[in-house]
Each structure stands twice: as C-alpha cells, then as structure tokens.
Structure 1
Amino acid sequence: MKVIEAIIRETPTISFEFFPPKTVEQEAHLFEVLAELEKFKPDFASVTCGALGSNADKTIFWAKEIKKKFGIEPVAHLTCVSASREAMKKQLDELEKVGVSNVLALRGDPPIGETKFVPSKNGFSHACELVAFIKEQKPRFCVGVAGYPEGHIEAACLEDDIKHLKMKVEVGADYVITQLFFNNEDFFRFRDDCSEAGIRVPIIPGIMPITSLKQVKKMTQMCGAIIPQDLLNKLEQADGDKTAVIEIGVEHALFQARELITRGVHGLHFFVMNQSGPISKVFGQLEI
C-alpha cells in the first residue's frame, strides 16, 4: 500500500518513527516497543538511517520486520549522505525485493564537526535530486520528504527553504513530514506559506514527546527548532525528576496533537525515540 492513500483519506493518519537499534538488547527492546504500539493501529512507521548514511542494511531489515511481524506499512529513510547513485539503486532494489515501496527521501546531515554537506562521487547534492532519482528508478514508489516549519538550519530564510521544498514536490514528492516543533503556530504559518507557494501535497506535522531536557536541547540545536520559553521553564524546574519531565512532555505533546487535529491536519507523525511509555500515555488521552 502506498501511504499517500491513507494520508489523503478523511480521518487523520497516525504514524511513528523508529531508529535501528545497535545492540542485541536494544533489538529485543524495539520488538517489545513495536508490540506495545501496534495496538494503536498506526497507518505507517518510518525507520531512520544511521549517522553518515550508515546502517542502510539495518534500515531495510527493520522495515521488512515491521511489515512482516506487525502488519504495519513501513517507510524506509534514504539519505544522500555517503551514497552514490549505484549504491542508492541497490538500496531501492533491495527494498522492492522485500516488499517495501514507501520511502522518505532526505539529504541528511553533514558529519559532526563539519558545517557543509559534501555529496559523494556520482551522488546527490540535494534531496530533490534523490527524489527525482527514486521516481525515475522506481516510479511506483511512494516518496515522502522533510519540511521545516522553522526553516532548515542551513537555509538563508524560510522563503528560500520553502522554494527548496517546492522543488522536491515538483520532481515527484507525494507528501511532506515536518521536523519536530513545539509551537503549533509555527506549523500553521508554514502550512499557509506552503499553500501560497503552490505546494499542494499533504503536510504532516512531526511531534516529539519530550522525555529528557538534555536530549531535547541537543536535538533542537541540531535542527534549529525553538523550545517555547514557558515550556523550557517547566522542563528546567523539573530537571532531575525523570517522571516529572516525561509528564510535562506528554502534556505538551497531547496539547499539540489536539490542536493540530482541530485545525485539520492530514495526520500526526510521532518521533517515539524507540520508547513506548510516553506515546502510550498520549494515546491514552487522545481522541482521533
């Protein structure tokens, strides 16, 4: 099934993002997390790549397992990092071989310590090139791309960033999943700006229930998202009390989700960080 078929229906979709575990213990834990979250009947689940585009084999493995063992439609992340066109063709062939035809095409981040992305030899400079390549090689694949409500950290301005997003759509992107954000007004403004720019594909907001102040500060520094001051104050006051921090994160994610649904989003994409507890608490109170 192409996930766009679920996304365009009247009822908002629910989806989760996971990352490939590194150890045997973490693998067992992820299977437990998937079994726990399966009950919420997600429409699809995405699987990230490792740093520097590594672990492509693990991304494919977990995409296959998610579909085979849990019956959830998988979306495999593909990045331009360290990927030649020949290597990308092999990844696409392998995904097709195991029955995965939904992907999320990303440029990916430059190596830690470097500020500029350098494409691989015979590789891809931008995500729009990767989208075009996927559509050329596998025209039946459904391709999602990333959007940035507060602007990509490398973009000169939000207007330029939206121009880049439009280019990805023009070469074949079927839908957009946004980077995490904590102020819904940033998303609504972004959605309106995309509409004015002529972007007509569905835009799905990405939500991350906060579980650690240190972790969320690191992630927002990497992606350029801003933590609202009132939320940051609450987290700093609760720092050191893990349970209290998680409760604050759940409360804010629930607030975001409810308002987003009320304002007519196509779906909600949760960055679960391979944990089931916070998401289970959100869905214990969320009516969709």
Structure 2
Amino acid sequence: MTTAAQSIRELKAPAFSFELLPPLKGNSISRVYRTIDALKDFKPLFVNITSHRDEVVFRSADGGLYERKVTRKRPGTVAVAASIKHRYGIPVVPHIICSGFTRSETEYALIDLNFLGIHDVLLLRGDKAQRDRFYEPAEAGNAYAIELIEQVNNLNKGVFLDETLAEAFETPFSFGVAGYPEKHEEAPNLDSDLFWLKKKVDAGAEYVVTQMFFDNSKYFAFVEKCRAAGITVPIVPGLKPITLKNQLTVLPKIFHTDIPEDFAKALRTCKTDEEAARVGVEWTTMQARDLLDNGVKLLHFYTMMATQSVRKVAEQIY
C-alpha cells in the first residue's frame, strides 16, 4: 500500500490535496460529499479530515440561570474518513490530536483506523480549549505531539497502553506533522519551533504540512531554515482563499498569520463578501503559481467556507 508520504516523495507533476471538517453534530455528511464532489476532478492526492476536542457551552435554564454542558461539536473524524475512502476511493489522512483526548481514546481511534485499513494520519497537539487561557492536556492524555508520536510508534510495534505486547500491525501507521512558517503562537521564537519540529521528524514524521500563510516569502524562508536545521522531509504549503471581508482581521487573530499589505489593501476596498472572495481567489492563484514555478509539487488547500474558491483556483493552475 502506498502511503501519503510515499506519494508526496514520488510526485513528478503538480498535485492537489485539501482539508475538510467533519459536519457539526446533528448535521448530515452531505456537505462533506458536496465539497468532495466539487474538488474530486482535480484528483486529490489525499484528503485531510480535522479532529476536534470537546468544549463547554452554556444553555439557558429555569430561573434565568445557565446550565454548563460539555459537548463535542464536530465528532466523527474516523467515520468521515472511512466514508470518504469507501465512497470515493480517495486516500484519507485523518487528524489525531492530543488536545481533549486521553491516551486510551487515542489508542481506540488508532485501532479503529487500523481495522478500517486507514494507515495515514496527521499527528498534532491541537488547540487549547476555547474556555482556557492556556493549553492544558487532557488528564491521562498526551501533552504534546512528540508524545503522540511515541504512542503511535509503540502501537506500530504492537505495544499497547496496558503494556501488553501484541502482534505488530501488518501495515504500520505513516504520519506527518504540522509546521508553522510564522512560528507557533506559543513558541518563544522560530528557532525553538524548528528544534521541536526536528524532534518530531527524527521520531518518524515523514512530511510536514504548513499552517496557512499569505506571504510566499515566509514559506520559502521557512523551508530554507528547515533544511539548514537538518529537516529533509517534504514540506507541503497550506493555502486558503479568503472568502469574507471580516477574514482580513479574523484569520490573523485565529491562525496568527500576517496578511501582506498589498493583499490587505485590496480587501479593504471590497464592499461585499463577493468582492472579497474574488480578491481572495486572485491572491491564492498568484501564490499557487509562484509556488509551482519555484519547484513545489504539492499544494494543500484549507476548504473551510472556501470550497468554490478553492475550485476556482484549482481550475486555473491544474
């Protein structure tokens, strides 16, 4: 079986991949299918499916009070991955995250994926809970991605949490990790961020997918620093077309990425979201062409609220 990492390494021509979210709890999977139907013509190398932790919500109760409930708004990462694989035959790479999950829950998810014949995963620490000022790992959970990598490596050897040694998986998990051209928000500096990225690669990560960025020079500088640090695995650039006017301020706040002034100026002149989406497609197309012209083989797209924009970009470059 060819892994995502092997497919990335062996690319001879430009290729396309994308990330999508599981549907909100209570919604059908039809929106996921519509996203894939809109993008499958570009023969995606793989599809990432995000994973989400539980969150606290407050609901009105009797007497003007509020009731505190813990809920996971987007369950179903494993099931969505299996559904895509079964329905479309497209390789899938579900996210496995530390945040909000115990080691036991992670082990069960990996066992389920193994039973389903899904052996590619993207291993991430994950975001802090919305209610928390600082990241806190789940009790009895992995604190950082490097610990999650260790758990996956142990499972590949047949070592389970109860310390039994079973038969190693016939097909071991292959995994990638995340990279941050503008550094992770919690890293003291980019060099420190790269130190830990190299630790993850040395522990077995076979490729890196970057956080979204809007300035290609930052990606190229990041790759150069990675190579100087001895990180030799493929580094896949992550792109997202802006589709709404308010994303000019929302995306930098959430994802801690800069928007170049030329792009910001063009977005500020937009009077409607439709105009902003057109500008977003133009900018992402420019980014994509520049990356391909400079030898990048795989472009990875974040589709959240941007499926049609991603399609418009792909139509122009593939």
Q: TM tier, shorter chain? A: over 0.9
Distance 1:227 1:144 in 2: 26
Shift of 1:126: 1.0
In structure 2, the CA distance between the partners of 1:275 and 1:182, relative to structure 1 (3 Å rule), is closer
Larger Rg: 2
Q: Tell me if 1:29 matches 2:47.
A: no
Shift of 1:36: 1.8
Distance 2:74 2:23 in 1: 12
Q: Which amino acid counterpart does residue 87 of structure 2 have in structure 1?
A: K
Structure with the larger helix share: 1
Aligned partners of 2:243 and 2:306 also within 8 Å: no
Distance 2:88 2:81 in 1: 11
Aligned to 2:65: none
1:133-172 CA distances to partner (integer Å, 9 max, x unpaired)? 1122136111010000001011100100111111111111
Backbone CA RMSD of aligned residues: 1.8
TM-score normalized by structure 2? 0.85
TM-score normalized by structure 1? 0.94
Aligned partners of 1:33 and 1:274 also within 8 Å: no
1:179-199 CA distances to partner (integer Å, 9 max, x unpaired)? 000000000000000000000
Alignment counterpart, residue 79 of structure 1, candidates 90, 97, 101: 97
The answer to which of 89-98 and 31-40 deviates more is 31-40
Aligned to 1:151: 183
- Give me the identity figure in percent: 34
Aligned to 2:69: none
The answer to which of 277-286 and 266-275 deviates more is 266-275
Distance 1:100 1:268 in 2: 22
Q: What SS is found at the alignment partner of 1:285?
A: helix
Aligned to 1:114: 132
Q: What SS is found at the alignment partner of 1:284?
A: helix
- How many residues get paired? 286
Aligned partners of 1:12 and 1:265 also within 8 Å: yes
Q: Tell me if 1:194 matches 2:249.
A: no
Alignment counterpart, residue 148 of structure 2, candidates 120, 130, 139: 130
Alignment counterpart, residue 277 of structure 2, candidates 240, 246, 258: 246
Matches within 5 A, 1:207-222: 207-222=239-254
Distance 1:96 1:110 in 2: 28
- Which blocks of at least 5 consecutive residues in structure 2 are unaligned? 56-71, 158-171
Distance 1:282 1:264 in 2: 18
- Which blocks of at least 5 consecutive residues in structure 1 are unaligned? none
The answer to which of 97-106 and 8-17 deviates more is 8-17
Shift of 1:115: 3.1
